Copies of this chain bind each other. A is one copy, B any other.
Amino acid sequence: MVRKDGRNDDQLREVRITRGFQQWPAGSVLIEFGNTRVLCAASVTEGVPRWRQGSGLGWVTAEYAMLPSATHTRSDRESVKGRVGGRTHEISRLIGRSLRSCIDLSALGENTIQIDCDVIQADGGTRTAAITGAYVALADAITWLGAAGRLADPKPLSAAVSAVSVGVVDGRVRLDLPYEEDSRAEVDMNVVATDVGTLIEVQGTGEGATFTRSTLDKMLDLALNGCAELARKQAEALEAPYPYELPTPAPDKKSKGSK
């Protein structure tokens, strides 16, 4: 059985990474996995949350959201509903946790990097695209902080982080599911990994079905290959110079993103 979009089972959708999409945040990346488009911004603020003050450690946190117009049929706005839904919370926490696993928070100094992942168009895999794009925005924010002379140590990032979905559809293990496959998958898994092939997070769910351990193994094979390819795309995107003028160190910390 062939996939509707003509891909092989172990093939990613086309990936596009656009740095400098917005002007003000220290990092701003538009990432596309096929028709899925997520805007990932990394904003820098001096200081850390109250419970962390005086520790000498920095902080990285994330928020994920969808534009109401991003989905096939419009979804209600969470600000209007007055509460953030469970799924949104879950994904925000996943993104923050994934990025923190590859950064040395003491090297960051008492700075906070706030990641915002806003889905512009949803066609499956929004959380994995968000993680993959957020890493690139984070790397730009680190470059910006380094230029401004605000890092306690010049190399806080220990590895690159990317993520991909994998699932069982029509009885076959497939990589990077679009909405059309995701919505009828029997098993659905998201894998977050580093560019050296270690795992950060594995979340696999039987959707009204259960799955064997050997299926799990096949899914991990495909996902780790997918993450390796995404890591190459990230590295390529980061070869170009920082997309805006960089700040100069001290005494004037007045530019981009700092208050």
Contacts and interface: CB of A to CB of B under 8 A. Distances in A.
Contacts of A47: none
A120 B89 contact: no
A140 interface: no
B201 A206 contact: yes
A28 B80 contact: no
A212 B220 CA distance: 12
Q: Which 7 A-B pairs have the closest CB atoms?
A: A41-B69, A86-B89, A78-B79, A198-B210, A43-B74, A79-B79, A202-B204
A68 interface: yes
Interface string A126-142: 00000000000000000
A84 B74 contact: no
Contacts of A201: 204-206
Given A43-B69, A69-B22, A70-B22, A93 B101 contact: no
> What interface size band does chain A fall in?
35 or more
A100 B208 CA distance: 6
Contact of A90 (B24, B93, B120, B189): B93
Interface in A234-259: 257-259
Nearest to A94: B205
B199 A116 contact: no
A164 to B, nearest CB: 15
A224 B211 CA distance: 13
A23 interface: yes
A93 B35 CA distance: 28
A50 interface: no
A82 interface: yes
Interface in A193-231: 193-194, 197-213, 216, 220, 224
A165 interface: no
Contact of A121 (B22, B81, B198, B257): B22
